A and B are shown apart, each in its own frame.
Chain A
Amino acid sequence: MAIPLAYNLRNLTVRKTTTIMTALGIALTVSVLVAVLALVNGLRTAFETAANPLNILVMRKGANAELTGGLARSVFEDLKSKPGIARAADGHPLASLELVTVINLPSVQNPEGTNVTVRGLTEVGLELREHVKIAEGRWFRAGRREVVVGKSVAKRFPDAQIGRKLRFGKGEWDVVGAMDAGQSATNSEIFCDLNQMSGDFNRFDGLSSALVRVPDAVSVDALINSINDDQRLNATARTEQQYMDSQTNSAAPIQYLGVFVSIIMAVGSSFAAMNTMYAAVARRAKEVGTLRVLGFSRGSILTSFFFESLLLSLLGGVLGCLLVLPLNNVTTGLMTFSTFSEIAFNFRVGPEAMAIGVAFALVMGAIGGLFPARMAAKKEILVALRDI
C-alpha cells in the first residue's frame, strides 16, 4: 500500500525554510540551463525563419559564408539559365544575385560603432523573401541611393530612421523604409540596390552569392547536384536552410559553456538535496517507525521519501523556469564569425526548454533522494521507534 502523497506535501510545507532553500538552489541551476537553451533557441529561430525551404544559396566553390561568397557576375548569368529554376508569372527566372558586406554605424549602445550587414539586391531578391514585409515607408528604387533597414536596425541605430541619411561606401544613402521580417535574422540587415552598392564598394564582378528558387521540394536536390557538378560554374549550392543551420553553430561556445556550468551546478545541488533529505529522514525516524507499525512496507517508505525528493526538485524546477520567464522575448545581440556583424534576436523560453529544465531538476532530485530514502526504508522498527 502506498503512503498518500499528502503526507509528503505536508512535510515539505512544515519545514518551509529548508524546503525553499533547497528548492531555490535547484531553481538557480535550472534557470542557468534554461536561459542558455532559450538563447540558443532564439538564435535558431532567427536563422530558421529567415530561410525558405525552396531557396537554394549558391556561392563560389570553397566559400562557407556569404561575406566571402565571391560569386562572379558572369557565373550568375550562366546559373540563371539553368533548367530547374522556378519562374515568376511574367517568365523571369527567380534567381537573385546579391552582394553582402559589413558596415560600421554608431549605435545607441556603442557610439564607437557596431557592425551591420548590408545586402545589395534587386527586386527578385525581395520576391524570394516572402517573410520580409515593408513595415513603414517604401522599398528602395533601383538606381537610387536608398536603403531599407530591418526593424532591429531601426531600433538600435539612431541614424537608421526614415528620412535620415546613412553614411557608408562612397557617400550618403537615404533611409526610405523599415522592414519587418518577423522573428528572423533579416531584421538585423540593411537592404539596398545591388548595382549602386557594387559601385560604392568597387565590387563590379566578384559579388557574394546568388539565391535561387525551385518550383517544388522534389527538385531541390536535383538542382543542387546539377549546380555542384557543373564545372563551368565552379560553385557550391546548398539549401538556404542548411546555410542558416550552420550559422546557428556560432552559438555553440555559449551552449557548451552553459551546459558545462549547469552540470557542475547540478552536482552541487544534488548534494544539497541529499543533505536536506537525510535531515528529513533523521528527524522523522519515529514517524517512519510508526508507519511501519501501521503496516506500511519498506517499499512504500522508500517510494514515499523518493517521491518527496522528486516533489522538492519539481518545485525547484518550476521555480527555475519562472525565474527565467522574464527573459522571454528580451532582445540580445550576438556576433557571428560568418557575418562579422551583430544579429539581434529574442530569447525564447519555449516549452521544450522548460521541459528540459524540469527534467533536469527531477534528475537532481532523484539522485539526491535515492540514498536517504533507502536509509529510511532500511530502518528497523524498534530502533526507529526508540530514536529520539
Chain B
Amino acid sequence: MFRYVPLMLKNALRNRRRSTLTILSIAASLCLLGVMFALYRGLFLAPPKPGQELRLVARHKVSMTQPLPVSYEARIRQLPGVREAMVWQWFGGVYKDARDRRNFFARFCIEPDKLFRVRPELEMPDEQKRAFERLRTGAVASSDLAERMGWKIGERIFLTGDIYPVNPELTLVGIFKDPNTNETLFFSYFYLRELLGAGPRGDMVGTFQIQAENAEAVPRLAKAIDTMFENSTAPTKTETEQAFALQFVSFLGNIKLYLMIICAAVTFTILLVSANTMAMSVRERVREIGILKTLGYTPGAILFMILGEAGVIALMGGALGLLLASGMTAALRQGPTFVGAMRTLSITPDVGALSLALAFLIGVGSSLIPAWNAARTSILEALRDSG
C-alpha cells in the first residue's frame, strides 16, 4: 500500500492553487475548532488549580449576593476535618474610574491572619504578612496586579464602594505571588466592619472559604456544612472552589451547548469544503484514473490513493490551523478576562491530537463518495470522458 504514497503526495500538489486554498480553508476552521476545544477543556475538564483541591466555598443557597451571618464561621471551624475557615467577602467597588476597564480587578475582604492558611499557594515574605496583620487599613496585592498597576509597597489605594456605602482608604503593605496569576487585592474584613459601623450589615458576609485537612474530608465537609444550616434562615450551599468558579461561567447561558453547536457547525463546514475539493479534483481526473486502471491498478488501490490524498490535505490544513490556534490562544491569554480559565487557555497536546484526528477523519470521510465513484468507473467509460 505504501508505495502509493509518493503518487498520493504528487496528486495532492498537482493543482497547487486548489490545494492551497483548501488547506487554508480547513486551517481557518480547524483553528476555530482548536480554540473551542481548548476553551471547553479549560472550563470543564481542567484539573484543579494549585491550592484548589482542598478548598471549599460556602455561600447562601440562593446566591452569593445573599448574606450569611458571620457567626457561621466559628461553627464551621468546629467541624472535624476543617483546617481553617475564613470570611471571603467580595467588596466590588470602583478604583479610580470604572469606565476604564484596566481599573478592574478583584477586591476581597478577608481575615489577614488566616489568608495564607486558607490559601497556602500564595507566597509572601513573613515581615509583610506581619505588617498586614498589624495595620488595619493594610492591603496586599498579587504580583501580577501590582506589576500592571505599577504599585509599590506603601502605595495608597482608594476605593469607592458600590455594594457597601463606604470608601476604604488602603495602604499596600505586601505583594504576594499567586501561581494562578489572578489579579487580586485583599484587605481586612475588620476594617470593612469598622467603616460600616454598628448595624446588621457588618454581621453579614457573602461567602466563607474553608481549607479541608485532606482530600477525603472535602465531600464530607460540604455535606456536613449544608446540613448544619439547612433549617436556619440562611441555608448554605457548599461546594469546591472549582465548582464555585464554574457558576460564573453558567451566567453566560448554556456555554456547553453553545460550544457544541459551534463545533458541529465548524466540523460540518470542513466536511463540505473537503468533499467539494475532492469531488472537483476527481472530476478532473476521470480519464487519468482510466489510464491507471488500464495499467493494472486495482479499484482498491485507486480508492486508497484518493482517500489518502484527502487525508494528506486535511492533515496539512489541520496542522496549520493548530499553529494559528496556538497563536490565537496566546493572544486571548493576554486580553482582559473575567473567567479564570482564559488565563491558562492553550492548545494542549490532547486538544491538538483530537483536532488533528478529527480533521483527518473528516478529510477521509468526505472523499469517500467521490473516491468510491472513481474506483467503480469502468475503464471504457473513464477513457471516453472528455474531462
Binding site for B on A (CB under 8 A): 17-18, 21-22, 24-25, 28-29, 31-32, 60, 62-64, 67-68, 70, 101-104, 113, 115, 170, 202, 206, 250, 253-254, 257, 261, 264-265, 267-269, 271-272, 274-276, 278-279, 332-337, 340-341, 388
Do B272 and A335 touch across chains, with their CB atoms under 8 A apart? Answer: no
Do B387 and A278 touch across chains, with their CB atoms under 8 A apart? Answer: no
Q: What residues of B have a CB within 8 angstroms of the CB of A101 in the complex?
A: 66
A115 to chain B minimum Cβ distance, whole angstroms, is 6
Binds A, one of B119-127, B147-155, B273-281: B273-281
Do B265 and A265 touch across chains, with their CB atoms under 8 A apart? Answer: yes
Q: What residues of B have a CB within 8 angstroms of the CB of A278 in the complex?
A: 17-18, 21
B131 contacts A by Cβ under 8 Å: no
Do B21 and A28 touch across chains, with their CB atoms under 8 A apart? Answer: no
Do A104 and B63 touch across chains, with their CB atoms under 8 A apart? Answer: yes
Do B25 and A28 touch across chains, with their CB atoms under 8 A apart? Answer: no
Q: What residues of B have a CB within 8 angstroms of the CB of A265 in the complex?
A: 28-29, 32, 265-266, 269
Chain B residue nearest to A63 in the complex (CB): B162
Q: Which of B26, B162, B233, B279 contacts A64 (CB 8 A)?
A: B162
**How far does the alpha carbon of A222 sit from the alpha carbon of B206 in the complex, in Å?**
38
B160 contacts A by Cβ under 8 Å: yes
A209 to chain B minimum Cβ distance, whole angstroms, is 13
Binding site for A on B (CB under 8 A): 17-18, 21-22, 24-29, 31-32, 36, 61-66, 92, 94, 160-163, 165, 200-201, 233, 250-253, 258, 262, 265-266, 268-270, 272-273, 275-277, 279-280, 386-387
Q: What residues of A have a CB within 8 angstroms of the CB of B24 in the complex?
A: 268, 271
Q: What residues of B have a CB within 8 angstroms of the CB of A332 in the complex?
A: 253
B304 to chain A minimum Cβ distance, whole angstroms, is 23
**How far does the alpha carbon of A271 sit from the alpha carbon of B213 in the complex, in Å?**
57
Q: Which of A28, A250, A341 contacts B268 (CB 8 A)?
A: A28
Chain B residue nearest to A372 in the complex (CB): B17
**How far does the alpha carbon of A118 sit from the alpha carbon of B58 in the complex, in Å?**
23
Q: What residues of A have a CB within 8 angstroms of the CB of B262 in the complex?
A: 32, 261
Closest 5 CB pairs of A and B: A268-B28, A271-B25, A335-B251, A104-B62, A267-B28
Q: What residues of A have a CB within 8 angstroms of the CB of B29 in the complex?
A: 264-265, 268
Interface of A is mostly: helix
**How far does the alpha carbon of A62 sit from the alpha carbon of B159 in the complex, in Å?**
11
Do B62 and A254 touch across chains, with their CB atoms under 8 A apart? Answer: no
Do B280 and A279 touch across chains, with their CB atoms under 8 A apart? Answer: yes
> Could you write out 20 A-B pairs with CB less than 8 Å apart?
A18-B280, A21-B272, A25-B269, A25-B272, A25-B273, A28-B269, A62-B94, A62-B160, A70-B165, A202-B200, A261-B262, A265-B29, A268-B26, A268-B27, A269-B269, A275-B273, A278-B17, A279-B18, A334-B252, A388-B386
Q: What residues of B have a CB within 8 angstroms of the CB of A254 in the complex?
A: 252-253, 258
Chain B residue nearest to A18 in the complex (CB): B276
Instruction: Answer whether A21 and B276 are a contact pair too, CB < 8 Å, given A28-B265, A29-B269.
Output: yes
Do A333 and B25 touch across chains, with their CB atoms under 8 A apart? Answer: no
Instruction: Answer whether A335 and B250 are a contact pair too, CB < 8 Å, given A62-B94, A115-B63, A272-B272.
Output: yes
A156 to chain B minimum Cβ distance, whole angstroms, is 14
Interface of B is mostly: helix
Do A102 and B26 touch across chains, with their CB atoms under 8 A apart? Answer: no
Q: What residues of B have a CB within 8 angstroms of the CB of A267 in the complex?
A: 28
Q: What residues of A have a CB within 8 angstroms of the CB of B32 in the complex?
A: 261, 264-265, 268
**How far does the alpha carbon of A21 sit from the alpha carbon of B61 in the complex, in Å?**
51
Q: What residues of A have a CB within 8 angstroms of the CB of B253 in the complex?
A: 254, 332-335
Q: What residues of B have a CB within 8 angstroms of the CB of A60 in the complex?
A: 165
Q: What residues of B have a CB within 8 angstroms of the CB of A104 in the complex?
A: 61-63
A340 to chain B minimum Cβ distance, whole angstroms, is 5
**How far does the alpha carbon of A111 sit from the alpha carbon of B25 in the complex, in Å?**
44
Do B269 and A268 touch across chains, with their CB atoms under 8 A apart? Answer: yes
Do B162 and A18 touch across chains, with their CB atoms under 8 A apart? Answer: no
**How far does the alpha carbon of A149 sit from the alpha carbon of B250 in the complex, in Å?**
24
Q: What residues of A have a CB within 8 angstroms of the CB of B22 in the complex?
A: 271-272, 275
B219 to chain A minimum Cβ distance, whole angstroms, is 16
B217 to chain A minimum Cβ distance, whole angstroms, is 23
Do B162 and A268 touch across chains, with their CB atoms under 8 A apart? Answer: no
Max chain A Cβ within 10 angstroms of own Cβ: one of B18, B268, B273, B275: B273
Chain A residue nearest to B321 in the complex (CB): A268
Instruction: Answer whether A24 and B265 are a contact pair too, CB < 8 Å, given A18-B280, A103-B62, A334-B253.
Output: no
**How far does the alpha carbon of A268 sit from the alpha carbon of B94 in the complex, in Å?**
42
Q: What residues of B have a CB within 8 angstroms of the CB of A21 in the complex?
A: 272-273, 275-276, 279
Do B61 and A113 touch across chains, with their CB atoms under 8 A apart? Answer: yes
**How far does the alpha carbon of A137 sit from the alpha carbon of B228 in the complex, in Å?**
39
Do B273 and A272 touch across chains, with their CB atoms under 8 A apart? Answer: yes
Do A170 and B233 touch across chains, with their CB atoms under 8 A apart? Answer: yes
**How far does the alpha carbon of A104 sit from the alpha carbon of B63 in the complex, in Å?**
8
Q: What residues of B have a CB within 8 angstroms of the CB of A18 in the complex?
A: 276, 279-280
Q: What residues of B have a CB within 8 angstroms of the CB of A333 in the complex?
A: 253
**How far does the alpha carbon of A21 sit from the alpha carbon of B274 in the complex, in Å?**
10
